[in-house]
A and B are shown apart, each in its own frame.
Chain A
Amino acid sequence: MNLLRTSLIRDLLTDVFLNLFRKRMRALLTMTGVIIGSFLVVLIFSLSNGLSVFLDQQIRAVWDENMIKVRLEKGGAPEKMAKGMFGGLGEPPQEVTEENKEEIPGAFEFRHIPHESIQKLKNIDGVQEVQPEIWVMPRSMQVVGDDRQFDAIVRPWIMAGPDMLAYGQDFSTSAARECIVSEAYLVALGYSNPTQLLGQTLKIRIQEDAYIAMAGGGQMDLKFLDKLRDVAYLFQNPPEDPELTMISAFIMLRDLANSSEIKALTTEPGAAKVFEAKVVGISKKGLLTNMIYLPPDLIAEMGRVFLRNPDMYTKGKDGKFGIEGLVRVSDPKEIPRIKREIKKLGMKSTTLEDVVGFIHGLFGALSAILTVFVMIAGVVAFFSIVNTLFMAVSERKREIGVLQAIGATRGYVAAMFAAEAGAIGLMGGLIGYLLGTVLCIVGNIYAAQGLPYIPGGNWGNILGVSDLFVTPWWVLPLMILATAFVGAFAGVLPAKRAAQLDPAEALRYE
């Protein structure tokens, strides 16, 4: 019908805004609910998006998309114990079986990934290389020719991947004595230019410390305890023949003494060993500021020193791979298939997507909770618009009558009020969006400058990587649609009432 004509709609909308302007204070007050709601929407989604982007970047700093972390399904997943420790709450005790043994803290056994499995991993189509996962916590790092020592964490470069390289280049070979250090060291060292650090040699000190190997547990093979038990049993229950006892004891003690765990305990008292590595690259800064990335051979060597276990990371005659492996694939698109094949090998895998997905899920849940509050604001806004519009209709009865007398259809009158309600919603939404955006900008400026009241923390160095508030592109169109809809929907009843007004009645005067 004729309401669909564009000229009429344009004129109607102009009138609607003029009408709102007539009662601007009331319109503004009515909008409060919408303003608060949309303000919250902007803040919540920008913050959760910003944090999510930020964490995403942080995770990518230590987890390349081409990388899969693998562990044995059995003997490689101590986190399952959480269920054993807390899952029993309110449930009858569970029977210990071969299947659920992992969940029982007392029954858990660490196992190194066997070499055959590593070989099978390497044989999977699309797998480029497999390295052991190595955690090394050096005593310090130091630039040769500089007295100062700085703290550091050493990680395999395979974890971060080539896209984290900010300056310089990748390692020349996997055996190279080279390193890639975090950009944050430029700040620590007082360098203004990456070229000042590139090409320098670093001294990385690793403390030999056997007790960490013991406490770390994960690096200790349980066969070692079996050997110890055998010796103890022999002496507790000696055979009749003393000669046999002697020979058995000798063999057992020799095996025990040669086990890497005992060797670790009996060699020289722990000393710091210095490794030298040339800085060939600088990685993008991130939340973990003290990162030094290394090629596989160098970090494995450090790891053996760190654990004081010469057999670790597939070295020595009893070479152990470690409980975790890092698998690098050539194409991330192949990951789902490769994951399935890894599972067939009795191993579980974790990819960047798993970790990021987990975090996104966390923020999704947070957003969902906050969205409930937004919806409450929406409901309040809805009723406040309904109320205002009913008021406007009864105030403007005569005006409605006049309009009808000079030819306005009921549809036009209804559309006028519905549009007015929609406009209240829309304007409220836009004002809220603007306020939210302003707060986001201010928040980002503050975040970039650092938060002075967090002791010792200058977040600017980290958050400079990405903004704290990043408004997703879809927030504005969503807001426009949602607020206009809430408004127009709130306007339905008042508009109906306006349209049903009897013009003759409205224009009576006595």
Chain B
Amino acid sequence: MAAIEAEELTRIFQVGGEEVRALDGLTVSLERGSLAAVVGPSGSGKSTLMALLGGLDTPSSGSVSVYDQKLNGMAPVDLAAYRRSTVGFVFQDFFLLSHLTAIENVEVPLKLAQVSRSERRDRANELIELVGLGHRGEHRPQQLSGGERQRVAIARALANRPKLLLADEPTGNLDEKTGMAITEILLNLNKDRDITVLLVTHNPELAKQTEIQFHLGGGKLQKTICS
């Protein structure tokens, strides 16, 4: 069964009167539980694809459906609910809320999902533990290293038990060794928790560890490699 089905996705931006086709008729699909990578040069539309799949942006044309939820034409409120419960985002820049501790950051999506206070604490602790930061839960982002921040971000992405994890260059800002550790976590999540993982990467080593690699270029799918 398909986790992602995107057909003829096109996303056009208007930049100073000119059209930029960030995505240009891209069609991809991905089975549930799979681990896939999106690779391609900078500006090839990788982030745009992730935004469309995650319901952060809407395509100019084409359709997206994730776990049988058709995103096209979804009301903003439902789209928010979709982002809250079906997908989890991991970004290159972590994007943690700097005024909150690690635990509190993980609690934010739970708050938005109206999970009770005590359950929130429990789940956040559990997730912080899972990403190997049990001892740093009360620390704020600026007291954490890059790798640790990304672990917090992953824990946050997992808070509402998403079915699909979208990671846009999760190791892009990390040194090789730290990046490997983060990769490890993502791979394990896919394996142990049956979460579909789609990650954008420039790192061929990382890409090789995935089952499928989508090669993007100029907003189009150049090739799909299954390993």
A residues less than 8 Å from B57 (CB atoms) = 502-504
Taking the complex as formed, is B108 at the interface, i.e. its CB lies under 8 A from any CB of chain A? yes
Per-residue B-contact encoding for A2-30, CB less than 8 Å = 1, 0 else: 10010110010000001100100000000
Stretch of A182-190, A287-295, A396-404 contacting B (4+ beta carbons < 8 Å) = A396-404
CA gap between A86 and B28 in the complex, in Å: 94
B residues less than 8 Å from A406 (CB atoms) = 83-84, 89, 108-109, 112, 156-157, 159
B99 touches A507 (CB 8 A): no
Taking the complex as formed, is A364 at the interface, i.e. its CB lies under 8 A from any CB of chain B? no
A405 CB contact (under 8 Å) in B48, B89, B99 = B89
A2 touches B83 (CB 8 A): no
Per-residue A-contact encoding for B98-120, CB less than 8 Å = 1, 0 else: 01000000001101111011000
B residues less than 8 Å from A74 (CB atoms) = none
Stretch of A229-237, A409-417, A458-466 contacting B (4+ beta carbons < 8 Å) = A409-417
B residues less than 8 Å from A398 (CB atoms) = 95
The interface size of chain B toward A, counting residues with CB under 8 Å, comes to 32
B residues less than 8 Å from A5 (CB atoms) = 114
Would A399 and B77 be within 8 Å (CB), given that A406-B83, A408-B112 are in contact? Answer: no
A18 touches B99 (CB 8 A): yes
Q: How far is the CB of A184 from chain B (nearest CB, A)?
A: 63
| Residue among B85, B89, B112, B113 with most chain A CB within 10 A | B112
CA gap between A209 and B99 in the complex, in Å: 87
A507 touches B112 (CB 8 A): no
B76 touches A508 (CB 8 A): no
Taking the complex as formed, is B160 at the interface, i.e. its CB lies under 8 A from any CB of chain A? yes
B residues less than 8 Å from A2 (CB atoms) = 114
Would A409 and B91 be within 8 Å (CB), given that A7-B114, A22-B99, A507-B56 are in contact? Answer: no
B residues less than 8 Å from A453 (CB atoms) = none
CA gap between A508 and B113 in the complex, in Å: 25
B113 touches A407 (CB 8 A): yes
Taking the complex as formed, is B131 at the interface, i.e. its CB lies under 8 A from any CB of chain A? no
Taking the complex as formed, is B212 at the interface, i.e. its CB lies under 8 A from any CB of chain A? no
A residues less than 8 Å from B109 (CB atoms) = 406-407
Taking the complex as formed, is A509 at the interface, i.e. its CB lies under 8 A from any CB of chain B? yes
Taking the complex as formed, is A1 at the interface, i.e. its CB lies under 8 A from any CB of chain B? yes
B residues less than 8 Å from A508 (CB atoms) = 47
CA gap between A409 and B84 in the complex, in Å: 9
B77 touches A1 (CB 8 A): yes
B residues less than 8 Å from A401 (CB atoms) = 95
A409 touches B77 (CB 8 A): yes
Name A509's closest neighbour in chain B (CB-CB).
B93
Name B43's closest neighbour in chain A (CB-CB).
A510
Taking the complex as formed, is B54 at the interface, i.e. its CB lies under 8 A from any CB of chain A? yes
CA gap between A335 and B106 in the complex, in Å: 72
B residues less than 8 Å from A405 (CB atoms) = 54, 56, 83, 89, 95
CA gap between A502 and B57 in the complex, in Å: 8
B residues less than 8 Å from A11 (CB atoms) = 111
A residues less than 8 Å from B159 (CB atoms) = 406
A residues less than 8 Å from B116 (CB atoms) = 7
CA gap between A231 and B53 in the complex, in Å: 119
Q: How far is the CB of A404 from chain B (nearest CB, A)?
A: 7
A residues less than 8 Å from B80 (CB atoms) = 404, 407-410, 412
CA gap between A411 and B80 in the complex, in Å: 10
Q: How far is the CB of B164 from chain A (nearest CB, A)?
A: 13
CA gap between A403 and B48 in the complex, in Å: 18
Residues of A with Cβ closer than 8 Å to B? 1-2, 5, 7-8, 11, 18-19, 22, 398-399, 401-412, 502-504, 507-509
5 contacts between A and B (CB under 8 A): A2-B114, A404-B80, A407-B85, A408-B112, A509-B92
- 5 tightest A-B contacts by CB? A407-B84, A504-B57, A409-B80, A504-B51, A406-B109
